[in-house]
Amino acid sequence: MESHLEKRLEEQGYTDINPLPEQTQPPEQRSRFSPINQRRLQNFKANKRGFWSFWIFMVLFVVTLFAEFIANDKPILVSYKGEILAPVFVDYPEEKFGGFLAITDYRDPFIQEEIERDGWMLWPPIRYSYRTVNNEIPVPAPAPPSWTMDKQERCSRYTEGVNDPNCTLGNWNWLGTDDQGRDVVARVIYGFRISVLFGLALTIASSIIGIAAGAVQGYYGGWVDLGFQRFIEIWTAVPTLYLILIVSSVLAPGFWILFSILLAFSWVALVGVVRAEFLRGRNFEYISAARALGVSNSVIMWRHLLPNAMVATLTFMPFILNGSISTLTALDFLGFGLPPGSASLGELLAQGKNNLQAPWLGISGFVVLSVMLSLLIFTGEAIRDAFDPRKSFE
Amino acid sequence: MTNENKRLLDVKDLSIAFKQGEQENLAVDKISFHIDRGETLALVGESGSGKSISALSVLKLLPYPAASHPSGTIEFDGKELISATDGDMRKVRGNRISMIFQEPMTSLNPVHTVEKQISEILKVHRGLGETSARARVLELLTQVGIPEPETRLQSYPHQLSGGQRQRVMIAMALANEPDLLIADEPTTALDVTVQAQILKLLKELQQRTGMAMLFITHDLGIVRKISDRVCVMNKGKIVEHGPVEDIFERPTHAYTQHLLAAEPKGEPPLSDESKPIVVKTDDLKVWFPIKRGFLRRTVGHVKAVDGIDIAVREGQTLGIVGESGSGKTTLGLAILRMIASQGAITYDGQPINDFSWKQMRPLRRHMQIVFQDPFGALSPRMSVSDIVGEGLKVHYPQMSEADRDRKVAQSLEEVGLDASTRFRYPHEFSGGQRQRISIARAMVLEPKFVMLDEPTSALDMSVQAQVVDLLRDLQKAHGLAYLFISHDLKVVRALANDVIVMKQGKVVEAGHADAIFDNPQTDYTKALMAAAFKMEAVENGIVSM
């Protein structure tokens, strides 16, 4: 009864019981956002947890986008014989520094000595990339975090022991190494990046397809709608996981193959909501008015109906993103995901499961995944609440 | 009976404030009124005047804590209600004070039967058992004039007509013989003929049960018909109160005088047979097929529009009147080729009934629509300048940005809006202003023919009069041909020179407006006239319940 009444009050326009005074703002000072979007933004900011989650996530995301500058087995800048080189961007052949490999191994003490003699090197804070094998770990891989060992032990495998110039903070394995001697921190940073990028790409692509499909169904209705709906029902009944298993036994599953298979099934997520919004919206009077003006169907769908459907879509998006990331992780965990050697959180979890004696593997993977997914869920919740019409009209 | 005992509801210095973000807005400012037993008090005012929320606050049905009462007391039968607990309020609600809402469609729960909805209240407040509750429900349904109540017990709300739904609402409200009935615009959503019946019913029921009524309305005709005393509200204040005759005969406050003077007035254009015909139909039919069975075979048709001939001339207005469901709007939409139809339609001598959507496009700028609902007809996400300019973008794609802007501004000025407001969004405008925007959107294309689909019925009385004047001025200035669809005969009388009366898709009566208004021939037209102008229900000639 109460909520019904509230709704009725809203419908009757009691929300603008005090309509805005005649000239609230001069036109030129008006914000880009319509007032309702401003209120949504305020609602979003008012949700402290979601707001902070959003910013923390954005910072982590932007930082990991520049992962090559944080964790890499190449220096960021090298000055050699008066020449400034940027190994991060360019693969220099080793003969430039007097070696013979096609690509310079900057971790090789010989190359380091050669460069140091005629210039300097600027290393990233972590001197491992996601696929760099640390050959100097003092114990068999997986090696525990460096801070669990004393200096003596840490430097035992370097040629000059404690005095070796390479036994520095930059060569620490802060979270230990995995069972192939690769640095966990580096793998986590790159894994975070690829997870989020994969998730974002999948979310955006499936949203575009889903919105387009839902829009067409909802707007035209009738046989188009009926046919499409039955097709989707059959399509969603296809077991995605088996399909991926089958395909990965034929093709080597790379980023784009995985992406395409998952996309083929994930676009249906948004069709339902968008279709419902368009079905509802196409009978609005302003749609009739636009039709009476002679506006074409595609323009009506784009300009008049899509903004209505965007609220539902934006509300769903963070959760679809979360789902995409979890799917990728799950596939990696099972070994059907990204090709072997890729930085992947799922693979890290799988290693954790196989090496229970090395808890830093499982714990690191778990913490990173759960923090990432929680941040996204909190952000998603805040967005959902911000778009809640009951809140934005209050 | 002592004076103390006679007084049923006493509201003193009541204020209502709404919290909007950080700030509090005062919606009702220290109003006082009282209702005696058996008396009807009308709260009159335009939308946004605070009349409905004042009534809701008597039952404490506002969205607390967003709403609050900075001051005031509400005393009901000697008991203070503002400080009453929720438990106490529940004993009052639906028992001693009941309420009827405006929209019979949404006030009833669509998933419960009529019997269940009415008997629920009886069970809650009186603890009646299944059989005794059913007996009482039947008694109530008979009381509110539902024919064959036994067969209606198991009906769902969607199986009832609007009038019947409102009767069920009234039956629910009366179930526990309340001392006070609050009626919040109970007839606004109904046809005039049904409105007259409902008013008559309420009056009869009041005489029989001796309950008091708080009647909220914007329609002065109803006030005059039904109430004993009136409070006129404006911007959250009661500006004038007194017995009905005093207020109507000798209004003292300027706002009351303004309200009383707000009836749509003025003369329609004179009928002139020599003017060229703009739009003409010949035996126009819109039949919706009824399909049954697995193979969806067509077993019959709903004849929404069934063989109508009309002719609209330049600078003239054809009014179409009739109850809801009579096919008025369908006819208008068919003429504009928005829905499929059979029969000839000509525009400017050119047959357009076989035109495809593409072929119609260049004609759309000559044939425009203004819709009823000023809230629904404007996209809430577009600025006014985008809304008005949209048609220009379609029909004059080569027009420059500056030219279009100038044209939009001009059109807004023409309908009486400040052109500098064109960057605002629709929700920042009042209902009347929004309707002006709708009109501007149609007029900016310089059409020759405009279909006006109840353009005034969602507006306040005084705004109605302004919009009618505006439409007449525009017609005079541009020689527009209007097809004016309305159930409000007062407005039709002020605008149309020819009228057709529709009933169930057919023309019942057609001719010059004067002839039809002054000397209606059929019973149906007579009933419409009586209901519209005198608010009286005529027993014969009425179609709907």
Nearest CA in chain A to B420: A27
In the 8-state DSSP scheme, what is residue A305? I
Distance (Å, whole) CA B40 – CA B42: 7
Question: What is residue A235's predicted lDDT score, i.e. its pLDDT?
Answer: 92
Q: How far does Cα B374 stand from its chain's mean position? A: 12
Distance (Å, whole) CA B233 – CA B47: 10
Is domain B277-534 annotated with CATH 3.40.50.800? Answer: no
- Is B388 in contact with B408 (CB distance < 8 Å)? yes
3-state secondary structure at position A129: coil
Window B:389-408, CB contacts with A under 8 Å? 390-391, 394-395
Name the pLDDT band for A390 (thresholds 50, 70, 90): low
Domain limits, chain B: 3-260, 277-534
Q: Which residues pair with B291 in a beta bridge?
A: B298
Window B:103-142, CB contacts with A under 8 Å? 103, 106
Residues on chain A touching B185 (C-beta within 8 angstroms) = none
Min Cα distance B331 → chain A (Å) is 15
Dig out the tokens for B117 from the structure: 């909805």
Min Cα distance B30 → chain A (Å) is 16
- Is A142 in contact with A361 (CB distance < 8 Å)? yes
Question: What is residue A176's predicted lDDT score, i.e. its pLDDT?
Answer: 87
Residues on chain A touching B430 (C-beta within 8 angstroms) = 19
Mean pLDDT of the residues in chain B: 85
Backbone φ and ψ of B312, nearest 5°: -110, 125
pLDDT tens by residue, B465-521: 888 889 999 998 998 999 999 888 888 888 899 999 988 888 989 988 888 888 888
Closest CA to A325 of A246, A240, A253, A259: A259
Which of A17, A30, A31, A45 has the highest number of chain B CBs within 10 A, making it the mutation to test binding with B? A17
Tell if the CB–CB gap between B63 and A9 is shorter than 8 Å: yes
Query: Per-residue pLDDT averaged across A310-338, rounded?
Result: 87
CATH of B3-260, one of 3.90.1150.10, 3.40.50.300, 3.90.110.10, 3.40.50.360: 3.40.50.300
Residues on chain B touching A299 (C-beta within 8 angstroms) = 394
Tell if the CB–CB gap between A289 and B361 is shorter than 8 Å: no
Tell if the CB–CB gap between A19 and B430 is shorter than 8 Å: yes
Tell if the CB–CB gap between B20 and A296 is shorter than 8 Å: no
B545 contact A CB<8A = no
pTM: 0.73
Query: How high is the ipTM of this complex?
Result: 0.70
Tell if the CB–CB gap between A290 and B390 is shorter than 8 Å: yes
B195 contact A CB<8A = no
Asked whether this chain's domains B3-260 and B277-534 adopt the same fold, the reply is: yes
Range name among A47-51, A343-347, B370-374 with the lowest pLDDT average: B370-374
Architecture of domain A184-392: Orthogonal Bundle (1.10)
Name the pLDDT band for B3 (thresholds 50, 70, 90): low
Of the candidates B25, B56, B425, which has its C-beta nearest A17's C-beta? B25
Domain limits, chain A: 73-123, 184-392
Residues on chain A touching B463 (C-beta within 8 angstroms) = none
Per CB distance under 8 Å, which residues of A are interface residues toward B? 2, 5-6, 8-9, 12-14, 16-20, 24, 27, 30, 34-36, 42, 284-286, 288-296, 299, 303-304, 307-308, 394
Distance (Å, whole) CA B260 – CA B445: 36
Nearest CA in chain B to A391: B21
Residue with the larger pLDDT of the pair A378 and A33: A378
3-state secondary structure at position B73: strand
